[in-house]
């Protein structure tokens, strides 16, 4: 607070590595074109699995961001975190110098962290207990993304890792904004990463009947809100936003991309994987975010939906949007970019917040591709198949995770006169 006024939190830098490209602009170009990043798994032979498709990050070289020794001692989800942060800091033109380092914090989320490292070491242990790596623990624990980002970029402020399944990085962004508002930091590097594309993880989701099995048409497998959806597509990615106190950003002459104006977070307290009737927890999260932003529902022009392409989520989220927005639900645009990126689990909230910022910057709303067979229970404007030119002032991004976690973020277009 300054003189009784709440500190405003703005976005000044973005970094993104996704199945659609290894930077923000490449990924954004693909999203505008309605391209899918889903393909047959190439990292290992998936033929024994029911689901043989995924959203892999392609051509990523951690040595562009870490030295060889550091890369060898970090899990892929940490490598993606560091890479996305490096991009975001470069985009923000922010150097973390010794004088500002204590006021720069990190909040990074992941749903399953270094699961690949964990499985590799279990296999090694079964063969010979002496073969377990001394780096196993620091490589696999979720907080190491935030820890490694801080070490790489000398950020000495508040530092935390968030774990709330598919809401993990949305929580990270919301808590980062609250940290700045509370005056505990001037800058927060906020985001998330996921890199769990290994056979046992895919097999586990298959056992839950959660994944699409459309192996013969990978690019059509993720089809949120479509009647023929048969599950989500597991993907990997990393995303980071540089969040700053408005006055700090102005003093250093930063280019401001957007404002993080609202944050809401709730729990369903209902079921480990299924939403309650009417998705009342998501309803409360969205209403909380709107109240935090001091906005009426009619102010929202675009919603980046959680939209997982599962039977349980899509109809429930549609109903929640109708409850929150009333008649306005049919007037505003809603899309699920998971139709193109797949579901990046704990990284999804950060990726979709970044997409909202770029959508407002360029006046383009990304589509929901694979909208072919209308589902009567999903009857809103999902920007079907083709991107749409439209300038909106406020976006809402939804994230929901196993365990009943709900997060809603409101991002607002920056106007110089604001």
Contact call for residues 217 and 267 (beta carbons, < 8 A): no
State the greatest distance between any 2 C-alpha atoms of the chain, in Å, as a whole number.
65
Taken in order 19, 20, 26, 28, the sign of the CA dihedral is negative
Q: How many CA atoms lie within 13 A of 5 on its CB side?
A: 8
Residue 378 appears among annotated catalytic residues: no
Structure tokens at 373: 């067979």
Residue 166 appears among annotated catalytic residues: yes
Q: How far apart are the first and last CA of the chain?
A: 18
What does DSSP say about strands 302-304 and 333-335: parallel, antiparallel, or unpaired? parallel
171, 343, 394, 405: the catalytic one is: 343
181, 78, 192: which is closest to 137 by C-alpha?
78
DSSP 8-state symbol, 16:
E
Contact call for residues 264 and 170 (beta carbons, < 8 A): no
Angle ∠(369,370,371) on CA atoms, nearest 5? 90
Contact call for residues 168 and 162 (beta carbons, < 8 A): yes
Structure tokens at 250: 């102005």
Structure tokens at 261: 């104006």
Residue 154 appears among annotated catalytic residues: no
166, 240, 378, 395: the catalytic one is: 166
171, 306, 394, 405: the catalytic one is: 306
Supply the Cα-derived Rg of the chain in whole angstroms: 20
Distances (CA, A) of 38 to 156, 217, 305: 38, 9, 19
What residues act catalytically? 166, 306, 343
């Amino acid at each position: 607070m300054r003189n009784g006024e709440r500190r405003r939190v703005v976005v000044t830098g973005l970094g993104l590595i996704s199945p659609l490209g290894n930077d923000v602009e490449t990924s954004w170009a693909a999203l505008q074109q309605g391209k899918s990043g889903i393909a047959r798994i190439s990292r290992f032979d998936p033929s024994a699995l029911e689901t043989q498709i995924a959203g892999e990050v392609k051509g990523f070289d951690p040595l562009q961001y870490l030295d060889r020794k550091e890369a060898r001692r970090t899990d892929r989800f940490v490598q993606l975190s560091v890479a996305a942060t490096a991009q975001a800091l470069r985009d923000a033109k922010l150097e973390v110098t010794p004088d500002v380092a204590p006021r720069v914090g990190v909040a990074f989320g992941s749903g399953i962290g270094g699961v690949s490292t964990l499985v590799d070491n279990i296999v090694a242990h079964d063969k010979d207990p002496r073969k377990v790596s001394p780096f196993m623990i620091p490589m696999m624990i979720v907080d190491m993304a935030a820890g490694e980002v801080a070490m790489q970029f000398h950020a000495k402020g508040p530092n935390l890792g968030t774990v709330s399944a598919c809401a993990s990085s949305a929580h990270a962004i919301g808590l980062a904004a609250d940290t700045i508002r509370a005056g505990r930091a001037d800058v927060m590097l906020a985001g998330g990463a996921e890199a769990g594309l290994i056979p046992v993880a895919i097999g586990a989701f298959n056992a839950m009947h959660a994944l699409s099995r459309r192996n013969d048409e990978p690019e059509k497998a993720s089809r949120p809100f479509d009647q023929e959806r048969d599950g989500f597509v597991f993907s990997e990615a990393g995303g980071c936003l540089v969040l700053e106190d408005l006055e700090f950003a102005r003093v250093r002459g930063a280019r401001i991309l957007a404002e993080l104006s609202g944050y809401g977070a709730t729990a369903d307290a209902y079921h480990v994987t299924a939403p309650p009737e009417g998705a009342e927890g998501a309803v409360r999260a969205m209403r909380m975010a709107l109240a935090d932003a001091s906005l009426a529902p009619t102010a929202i022009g675009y919603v980046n939906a959680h939209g997982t392409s599962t039977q349980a989520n899509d109809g429930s989220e549609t109903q929640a949007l109708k409850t929150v927005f009333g008649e306005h639900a049919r007037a505003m645009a809603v899309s699920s970019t998971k139709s193109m990126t797949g579901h990046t689990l704990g990284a999804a909230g950060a990726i979709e917040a970044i997409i909202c910022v770029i959508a407002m910057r360029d006046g383009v709303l990304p589509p929901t591709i694979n909208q072919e067979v209308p589902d009567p229970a999903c009857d809103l404007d999902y920007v079907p198949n083709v991107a749409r030119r439209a300038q909106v002032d406020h976006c809402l991004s939804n994230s929901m995770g196993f365990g009943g976690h709900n997060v809603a973020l409101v991002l607002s277009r920056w106007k110089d006169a604001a």
